Amino acid sequence: MSRVAPGRDRGVRPGPVPLLLSSHLSAAGLIAALAVSTTIVDTSPFSTNGALVLSNARGVDTRRFYRQVIGYTGGLVAVGPVVAWGALVLPWS
């Protein structure tokens, strides 16, 4: 029986590793895509950062501000991946 270092189980791989191994994607492109995704997620009022921004907003109409943040997040979700793909993937394809 061969020994495997703790945390180095041969059958378990982190999420992006199988994708990188089974496709022609570059590691830099994957990292860039993850960075864009985390930025989009952080703008949502349902994320920790978004909730902190909403809870600390002073001197504004909270309902209107909430709708603005939701609209901004919706726009990012709709447009962000397309722009990121066009800027980060398409030039190298």
Q: Tell me the three-class secondary structure of the chain, residue by residue.
A: CCCCCCCCCCCCCCCHHHHHHCCCCCHHHHHHHHHHHHHHHHCCCCCHHHHHHHHCCCCCCHHHHHHHHHHHHHHHHHHHHHHHHHHHHHHHC
What is the percent of the chain where pLDDT is above 90?
13
Q: Quick one: average pLDDT of 35-49?
A: 82
pTM across the whole model: 0.60
Residue 49 pLDDT exceeds 90: no
